[in-house]
């Protein structure tokens, strides 16, 4: 009889729950639960992906040199200090595997992305949660939660699922204040939705303790391809590359990402559409009695009066074929996260929430 057991920490992991994609009775539901781009990827990215299908026998390059060069050109970065992963999730996993183990602490904020906890536990490290203030990261609380055991401090800016953002000056204060034994990881999954924002790449350039992660899953519409990247000091990228599998990113994903990052006009178009409908939806929900914080991402965190009301609205939306994200697992049981869809999706969701609220009050 085997007595083998998972490594410490593994059984403490609550498996990640993805946004639902089916609704009872709706045969073509509208999925607004995973922050996907309703416009899809750039047509050039799709074409590049399909082209690779003609040569599936060929291994992808292991150094990702082409894609790193293109990312560097577009964002004004040093290609040698970029690492590509199967989604930015994989870069987060590399960071935890490389820098945190048993006895070490991994810090993130109260409503932070659930992969930070999962990756920390998978590495055998101890997750530590810093409280937020009004659903917004609080740098003083994060600094207070640091200890000599802190190795990684994760901050998504803008954050998912709250959509809130803290200013660069606050992020710089955090980078300067964490212990010398720790690294600040700035998760820029939604950076492209903020006009003119570099995802704190500038901070990476001026400090030796900051890493930035980015993804092709959100504004670039390539969630299904699984590709993301990280940017950091040379010594850190070198360490991460040692744990990275040589063929961790598929040839098709590399090709699609390369085309996507170069189609700047399409990205600009997606950013503008998202900003327009985000503002529209936020105002409409507020008129219906459902407030939300100003969001800097491609979703809105709609706040209800009670968890029961949020759950009832979720069920009502599902009955209309509209799938949004229950965020009770993020300590936000009174809220629903709604991805900004296309115009029709936004109009449908606004109409359905309004009908629900009128019914709820009747």
Interface residue with ligand PLP among 99, 113, 231, 299 (CB under 6 A) is 113
Q: Output phi, psi for 105, to 5 deg.
A: -115, 145
Q: Whole-number minimum distance, CB 243 to ligand PLP, in Å?
A: 17
Both tokens of 12, joined, read: 């403490």
Q: Which is nearer to ligand PLP, 94 or 304 (CB)?
A: 94
Closest alpha carbon to 64 in 263, 257, 260: 257
Max intra-chain CA distance, the chain? 63
Interface residue with ligand PLP among 30, 88, 262, 348 (CB under 6 A) is 88
Q: Which is nearer to ligand PLP, 194 or 360 (CB)?
A: 194
Q: Which is nearer to ligand PLP, 142 or 189 (CB)?
A: 189
Q: Which is nearer to ligand PLP, 127 or 228 (CB)?
A: 228
- Name the segment binding ligand PLP (CB under 6 A); options: 9-17, 84-92, 258-266, 307-315: 84-92
Closest alpha carbon to 223 in 185, 265, 258, 256: 256
- Under rule CB under 6 A, residue 87 binds ligand PLP: yes
Calculate the CA 264 to chain-centre distance: 20
User: CB-based contacts of 327: which residues, under 8 Å, 6+ apart?
Assistant: 161, 301, 333, 335, 336, 337
Q: Whole-number minimum distance, CB 192 to ligand PLP, in Å?
A: 12
- Under rule CB under 6 A, residue 160 binds ligand PLP: yes
Report DSSP state, residue 133: B
From CA 281, how far away is CA 294, in angstroms rounded? 11
Number of chain positions touching ligand PLP (CB under 6 A): 13
- Name the segment binding ligand PLP (CB under 6 A); options: 2-10, 15-23, 66-74, 210-218: 210-218
307-319 helix and 343-361 helix, angle to the nearest 10 degrees: 130
* List of residues contacting ligand PLP (CB under 6 A): 87-89, 113, 156, 160, 187, 189, 215, 217-218, 223, 228
């Amino acid at each position: 009889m085997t007595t083998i057991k998972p490594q410490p920490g593994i059984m403490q992991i609550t498996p990640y729950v993805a946004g639902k994609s089916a609704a009872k009775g709706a045969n073509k539901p509208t999925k607004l639960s995973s922050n996907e781009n309703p416009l899809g990827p750039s047509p050039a990215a799709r074409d590049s992906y399909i082209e690779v299908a003609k040569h599936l026998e060929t291994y992808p390059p292991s150094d990702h040199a082409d894609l790193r060069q293109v990312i560097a050109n577009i964002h004004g970065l040093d290609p040698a200090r970029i690492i590509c992963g199967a989604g930015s999730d994989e870069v987060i996993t590399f960071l935890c595997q490389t820098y945190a183990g048993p006895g070490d602490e991994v810090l993130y904020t109260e409503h932070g992305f659930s992969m930070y906890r999962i990756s920390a536990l998978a590495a055998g490290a101890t997750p530590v949660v810093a409280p937020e203030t009004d659903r917004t990261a609080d740098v003083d609380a994060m600094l207070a939660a640091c200890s000599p055991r802190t190795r990684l401090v994760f901050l998504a800016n803008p954050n998912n699922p709250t959509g809130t953002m803290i200013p660069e000056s606050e992020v710089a204060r955090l980078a300067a204040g964490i212990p010398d034994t720790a690294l600040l990881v700035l998760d820029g999954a939604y950076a492209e939705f903020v006009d003119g924002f570099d995802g704190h790449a500038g901070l990476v350039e001026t400090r030796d303790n900051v890493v930035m992660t980015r993804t092709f899953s959100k504004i670039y519409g390539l969630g299904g391809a699984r590709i993301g990247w990280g940017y950091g000091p040379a010594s850190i990228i070198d360490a991460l590359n040692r744990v990275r599998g040589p063929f961790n990113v598929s040839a098709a994903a590399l090709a699609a990402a390369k085309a996507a990052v170069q189609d700047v006009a399409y990205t600009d178009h997606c950013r503008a559409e998202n900003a327009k409908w985000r503002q529209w939806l936020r105002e409409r929900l507020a008129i219906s009695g459902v407030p939300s914080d100003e969001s800097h991402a491609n979703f809105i965190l709609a706040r209800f009066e009670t968890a029961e009301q949020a759950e009832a609205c979720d069920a009502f939306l599902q009955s209309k074929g509209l799938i949004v994200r229950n965020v009770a697992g993020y300590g936000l049981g009174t809220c629903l996260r709604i991805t900004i869809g296309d115009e029709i999706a936004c109009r449908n969701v606004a109409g359905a929430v309004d009908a629900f609220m009128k019914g709820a009050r009747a």
